[in-house]
Amino acid sequence: GAVFPSPSEPRVFTIANQKGGVGKTTTTVNVAAALAMGGLNVLVIDNDPQGNASTALGIDHHSGVPSIYDVIIDDVPLGDVIQPCEAVPGLFCAPATIDLSGAEIELVSMVARENRLRNAIRDHVLWREREGLKPFDYVLIDCPPSLGLLTINAFVAAREVLIPIQCEYYALEGLTQLLKNIELIRGHLNPDLHVSTILLTMFDGRTNLAREVAEEVRSHFPDETIESTIPRSVRISEAPSYGQTVLTYDGGSTGALAYREAAQEIAERGALTTTDHQGRGQQN
Ligand code: ADP
Ligand code: MG
């Protein structure tokens, strides 16, 4: 297949939306798989105690497996918990186990509690460089739906935010709050953070509503919204129960095609120059 361009330094994304069930995890694993199949070196960090991204990538994440919990709470090097995804060369995962559900509370009393994931990624990038290992081109962090310390760690670790938006009722509800929270993080903890990418998911072109939601999102975020829209597809929803992404489960399906196109667009356009909601320009 086509080879996607490699960025000059690792692009770190947080996949965020404070609503549950909007396609965050599905987008994380499928964009990651498509980027890896495009020839790039990709790491998925499962930062959700539910461990759905680990499951979807077929990664062992039963209790006791070295996981992102050990990295965030016990300073275990990220390299010690990363596992290769068997089905897709170039795709790796730092899994989440059920232990991570305690991390929100344990983090509260820790020093530099918002920076722990960022520091772990930074140390790992430097370690790979020293060891002469192939760098990661992309790091995608899958987040829980809440804005707790785990999500804040992801926002501090990332430079770019990818927001999946479900083309249904109330899609835009909560988005204003999410953008406000991103502004807060940007102001206090991570001046580089910006929404670079919006992906419309679970699109059903037969309904007027889906088309209206899509149009509204595109008119508000013309630069950020990816051209390719992810259709509602049974193949996409079936794949995780086989420990697979849709790209390996049914690579010829419309869902696989859409995620491949979205990933290619993300890779090709690089980080966008965006304007934040107070009118200041933000250059990457
Ligand atoms: P989140 O991580 O935001 O909670 P998920 O990615 O887990 O959301 O998606 C929620 C549910 O919707 C899952 O059961 C998933 O399989 C399903 N789903 C996600 N995207 C699609 C799609 N494009 N078509 C059909 N089902 C989808
Ligand atoms: Mg999820």
Give 217 Cα–ligand 1 centroid separation in angstroms: 19
Which pTM does this prediction carry? Answer: 0.94
The pocket of ion ligand 2, defined by CB under 5 A, consists of 24-25, 52
CA-CA-CA-CA torsion sign (120, 123, 126, 132)? negative
User: Does a structural domain hold residue 3?
Assistant: no
Distance between CA atoms of residues 154 and 127, nearest Å: 20
User: Does a structural domain hold residue 75?
Assistant: yes
User: Does a structural domain hold residue 1?
Assistant: no
Domain encompassing residue 50: 11-270
User: Does a structural domain hold residue 50?
Assistant: yes
User: Does a structural domain hold residue 31?
Assistant: yes
Residue whose CA is closest, atom 1 of ligand 1? 21
User: Does a structural domain hold residue 275?
Assistant: no
Closest atom of ligand 1 relative to the 27 alpha carbon: 6
ipTM: 0.99
- CATH number for 85: 3.40.50.300
Give 23 Cα–ligand 1 centroid separation in angstroms: 4
If one counts every other C-beta atom within 10 angstroms of the C-beta of residue 174, the result is: 15
Q: What is the pLDDT of residue 205?
A: 87
Give 238 Cα–ligand 1 centroid separation in angstroms: 10
Our count of domains for the chain comes to 1
Closest atom of ligand 1 relative to the 239 alpha carbon: 16
Closest atom of ligand 1 relative to the 232 alpha carbon: 24
Nearby residues of 260 by Cβ (< 8 Å), 6 or more positions away: 34, 37, 38, 247
User: Does a structural domain hold residue 144?
Assistant: yes
User: Does a structural domain hold residue 283?
Assistant: no
pLDDT per residue, tens digit, the chain (284 aa), is 669 999 999 999 999 998 889 999 999 999 999 999 999 999 999 999 999 999 999 999 999 999 999 999 999 999 999 999 999 999 999 999 999 999 999 999 998 999 999 999 999 999 999 999 999 999 999 999 989 999 999 999 999 999 999 988 777 877 888 999 999 999 999 999 999 999 999 999 899 999 999 999 999 999 999 999 999 999 999 999 999 999 999 999 999 999 999 999 999 988 544 444 433 334 43
Give 52 Cα–ligand 2 centroid separation in angstroms: 6
